[in-house]
Amino acid sequence: MSPSTDPDRPDPDAATLAPPRDGRPVSDRGDTVCVIGAGASGLTAVKNLREHGFGVDCYERETGVGGAWNWRHDRSPVYASTHLISSPPFTQFPDFPMPDDWPDYPHHSQLLSYFERYADHFDLRQHVWFGTEVVRVEPVAGDRWDVTTRSTGGYGPERTSRYAAVVVANGHNWSPKLPRYEGLEEFRGEIMHASSYKDPAQLRGKRVLVVGAGNTGCDIAVEAAQQASHCWHSTRRGYWYAPKYVLGRPTDQVNDRLLALRVPLRIRQWLYHWTLRLTVGDLTRFGLPKPDHRVYETHPIANSQLVYYVGHGEIAPVPDVARFHAKAVELTDGRRIEPDLVVFATGYLPRFEFLDPRILGDADGSGRPRLWLNAFAPGHPTLAVAGLVQSDSGIFTLSHWQTVLFARLLALRITRPDRAAAFAKRAAAGVGERYAGKVKDSSRHWFEVGHADYLRAVQRAMYDLEEK
Amino acid sequence: MSGGGERVRVLRGREWARPVRPARREVLSVLPELEQGRPPLLFVPGFGHGAWAFAEHWLEHAAGRGFPAYALSLRGHGGSEPAPEATLRAYTHDVTQVAAGLPRQAVLVGHGAGALVVRHALARYPARAAVLVAPVLGEWGTLGAALRRNPGGTLPALVGGGLRLSRRQLFSRELPDAEARRYAARIGRAGRRAQWQLLTHRDPEPAVGHPPVLVLGSPDDRVVPPAALTRAARRHGGAPLLFPGMGHDLMLDARWREPIDAILDWLEKEHTPA
């Protein structure tokens, strides 16, 4: 099948060519919007832009939808036992409910089937170019964008199309973040990043050190407790391990009940500490370090089993790693342990290799974009990033509203340019705003948002855009 | 944007904190023999009715014209799980659940109070289009008409009993008496709280995804006064399609073919690219 037979697809040989760029033809796609990535955030961008009347070309480097949540994808971080840590009301797209007979914490394969059904239900696949990766995204005059693509893996020629707007939805959980440790290169045992952890069989019978107390690190530590011959769990600090259920309900639902009643943060923190006291009690008794912060000040960890296995002696909590030796790992308290396998569950960093970092406000090259609402880049009114949030609940609800806001903004650029201009001014002024209470300063919390604070800000932006 | 004075609500803390309980739901369907790319229709019966009311004629007829046709029974109705304490929100949840479970983006067709449920569902599911058939949108005028025409069936509802609709309110005299009796015997009752919410509910939030909305009914409907039909249609920027001589239950009445054909004609016109 040749794409050039399809009138709805960009075609470099078409007559509607914009002035060539570096000698290569550019096909002008008119008012069409380009979406990069067909994961959760990309799909909802396609759906919401279509719903607001825009043509959409979505480029996806893989051959299926679902992005990170599609375990077949080589960049997918999911492992066999990955389950959601937020319950459906906080996870689903607000206009496409998950089946109500699903469990409170669905499995990743259920989530993938949800995204596939979303794509089929709204007929989104016809707008997606699978197996196509984006090489460059460059701004051109008139707030338009030249997007250069090629087949995934670098085969075939590059082609450039010009779009009215771009939504970047390439995900932020695929490029592993590996801290530097002295002596790591001389360590003779096996090391892996959590991104290549897929199955508990990888742990079976081994002496395993898991580094990192994110949700992934805690999951792997629990699996190591069940499968490995020994499990150490190294954390930088003490954390609050939230059980997945409190007071007989999923924890996030109880939390939002308090938020809906506008219970102040201090009281919620107190209630939380009190609930924990009623169940697991003082964690330092198990050898876990005392948290150096109050609850809600770091990204929440939802794991009922970690503390359970610590209490059964199946997980040995240890402090941070100081350095590696050939056969041993030295900890910051001077102890030496001898694991066969070290799993670094140390997280991921965002990467936008197709985009000049300055466009996203990353002037110092730290890799940290500076955006308003984690989505809008000052000076680039036709660019939005979707899903670049670390939420204390699900991300997809947030991506949905980000892309609805962007679609409405694009529509108003045509009918009410004055309002779009006011929005741009607001975006420039709002860079650096935070949508969470005080959090620990760490690259883990670059994109940390409280879902209620964040959605309130998006709602206000939407009302400001459309009223007055 | 159609309907609703309120603005779209992004923060839904109360809804998230207390999800509606799942319930077993009856869904009947008749599918066309050949997939013709037409959107699926989801029929939502009004209070007291179940999916059976559409299974009598309309499902078959719609499928015959190439539309995959589905009808659900709201919880507590027809073959769905009993739910005496159901609320309007639970009914709305039933509709969005079934709609999102269909293979393609659906057209929601609500009859009677089912039309009100559909209007609420439109704020939580981007339907391709919506059709409100003899809509009972919970206005005091409708209550007045019901009290005048059927005081015996309506008064108990006001004090917590079931709302009972009489045969003569629902069907025209053209429908043979035996059939009218048979249908009337199948009519159940909605949840007490949901019944009250017909009067006390808040105006639905605006519909998502700008669906076109068609309103139709009968000027001789003895449940929905003609003025209410006009108001409902005007809210969505149009005029009602009228089928004189028919009762409230347009899908069961003797001339059931006319309104369903009008709905399908409208959908075909709406979805032919201009």
Where exactly are the structural domains of chain A?
Answer: 3-175+349-466, 178-243+280-346
B→A interface, C-beta within 8 Å = 7-22, 93, 96-97, 100-105, 124-126, 208-210
Q: How far is B141 from chain A (nearest CA, A)?
A: 32
CB contact under 8 A, A95 and B13: no
CB contact under 8 A, B11 and A122: no
Q: For residues A356 and A139, give the distance between their C-alpha atoms in angstroms, rounded to a whole number.
A: 10
Contacts of A122 in chain B (CB under 8 A): 105, 126
Q: How far is B240 from chain A (nearest CA, A)?
A: 26
Contacts of B10 in chain A (CB under 8 A): 94, 401, 455-456, 458-459, 462
pLDDT at B79: 96
pLDDT at B120: 96
- What's B224's domain CATH number? 3.40.50.1820
pLDDT at B131: 98
Nearest to A256 among B17, B100, B105 (CB): B17
Q: Judging by beta carbons within 10 Å of its beta carbon (0-12, 13-18, 19+), is residue B140 exposed, middle or buried?
A: exposed
pLDDT at A453: 92
CB contact under 8 A, A95 and B126: yes
DSSP bridge partners of A249: A246
Task: Tell me, yes or no, whether B126 lies in a domain.
Answer: yes
pLDDT at B4: 39
Nearest to A100 among B10, B16, B97 (CB): B97
Q: For residues B98 and B112, give the distance between their C-alpha atoms in angstroms, rounded to a whole number.
A: 19
What is the C-alpha end-to-end distance of chain B, expressed in Å? 20
Instruction: Note the pLDDT tens digit of each residue in B124-134.
Output: 999 999 999 99
Q: How confident is the model at residue B160 (pLDDT cuts 50, 70, 90)?
A: low
DSSP bridge partners of B161: none
Q: How confident is the model at residue B161 (pLDDT cuts 50, 70, 90)?
A: low
Report ipTM for this prediction.
0.93
A→B interface, C-beta within 8 Å = 51, 87-90, 94-97, 99-101, 120-123, 252-254, 256-257, 259-260, 401, 452, 455-456, 458-459, 462-463, 467
pLDDT at A4: 38
Q: What angle do CA A158, A164, A170 make, to 5 degrees?
A: 60
Q: How far is B241 from chain A (nearest CA, A)?
A: 27
3-state secondary structure of B240: coil
With residue B119 as reference, give the H or E element that holds it.
helix B113-121
pLDDT at A6: 45
Query: Residue B42 pLDDT more than 80?
Result: yes
Q: How confident is the model at residue B2 (pLDDT cuts 50, 70, 90)?
A: very low
pLDDT at A295: 85
pLDDT at A299: 87
Are the beta carbons of A456 and B11 closer than 8 angstroms? yes
Q: Which region holds residue A397: left if phi is over 0, alpha if psi is between -120 and 50, else beta?
A: alpha
Q: How confident is the model at residue B48 (pLDDT cuts 50, 70, 90)?
A: very high
Segment B29-55 shows an average pLDDT of 96
Domain count, chain B: 1
CB contact under 8 A, A96 and B105: no
pLDDT at A273: 86
pLDDT at B272: 65
Domain with residues A3-175+349-466, CATH architecture: 3-Layer(bba) Sandwich (3.50)
Amino acid at A203: L
Q: How far is B27 from chain A (nearest CA, A)?
A: 15
Structural domain containing residue B179: 14-269
Contacts of A101 in chain B (CB under 8 A): 22
pLDDT at A286: 86
pLDDT at A5: 40
Please name the residues in contact with A405: beta carbons below 8 A apart, sequence gap of 6 or more: A373, A375, A458, A461, A462, A465
Task: Please tell me which residue of chain B has the smallest CA distance to A467.
Answer: B7
- Report the mean per-residue pLDDT for chain B: 91
Task: Tell me, yes or no, whether B1 lies in a domain.
Answer: no
Both tokens of residue A136?
């460059």
Q: How far is B88 from chain A (nearest CA, A)?
A: 17
Q: How far is CA A261 from each of CA A254, A419, B17, rounded to the nearest angstrom?
A: 11, 33, 11
Q: How far is CA A75 from each of CA A151, A171, A446, rounded to the nearest angstrom?
A: 16, 10, 21
Sheet holding A159-163, edge to edge: A17-21, A24-28, A159-163, A144-151, A132-140
Mind listing the pLDDT tens digit of every residue in chain A (468 residues)?
A: 333 344 455 554 444 566 667 777 899 999 999 999 999 999 999 999 999 999 999 999 999 999 999 999 989 999 999 999 999 999 999 999 999 999 999 999 999 999 999 999 999 999 999 999 999 999 999 999 999 999 998 888 999 999 999 999 999 999 999 989 999 999 999 999 999 999 999 999 999 999 999 999 999 999 999 999 999 999 999 998 889 998 889 999 999 999 888 899 899 999 888 888 887 788 888 888 888 888 888 888 899 999 999 999 999 999 999 999 999 999 999 999 999 999 999 999 999 999 999 999 988 888 899 999 999 999 999 999 999 999 988 999 999 999 999 999 999 998 999 999 999 999 999 998 999 877 777 888 889 999 999 999 999 999 999 875
Query: Residue B163 pLDDT more than 80?
Result: no
Contacts of A253 in chain B (CB under 8 A): 16-19
Q: How far is B227 from chain A (nearest CA, A)?
A: 31
Are the beta carbons of B95 and B108 closer than 8 angstroms? yes
Task: Tell me, yes or no, whether B27 lies in a domain.
Answer: yes
Segment B143-164 shows an average pLDDT of 73
Are the beta carbons of A150 and A158 closer than 8 angstroms? yes
Domain with residues A178-243+280-346, CATH architecture: 3-Layer(bba) Sandwich (3.50)
Contacts of A87 in chain B (CB under 8 A): 19
Highest mean pLDDT among A174-178, B62-66, B270-274: B62-66
CB contact under 8 A, A51 and B210: yes
Worst-scoring range by mean pLDDT, A145-154, B38-47, B148-157, B213-222? B148-157
For residue B272, give the DSSP letter.
S
Q: What is the 3-state secondary structure (H, E, C) of chain A?
A: CCHHHCCCCCCCCCCCEEEEECCEEEEECCCCEEEECCCHHHHHHHHHHHHCCCCEEEEECCCCCCHHHCCCCCCCCCCCCCECCCCHHHHCECCECCCCCCCCCCEHHHHHHHHHHHHHHCCCHHHEEECEEEEEEEEECCCEEEEEEEECCCCCCCEEEEECEEEECCCCCCEECCCCCECHHHCCCEEEEHHHCCCHHHCCCCEEEEECCCHHHHHHHHHHHHHCCEEEEECCCECCEECCEECCEEHHHHHHHHHHCCCCHHHHHHHHHHHHHHHCCCHHHHCCCCECCCCCCCCCEECCHHHHHHHCCCCEEECCEEEECCCCEEECCCCEECCCEEEECCCEECCCCCCCHHHHCCCCCCCCCCCECCCECCCCCCEEECCCCEECCCCHHHHHHHHHHHHHHHHHHHHCHHHHHHHHHHHHHHCCCCECCCCCCCHHHCCEECHHHHHHHHHHHHHHHHCC
3-state secondary structure of B230: helix
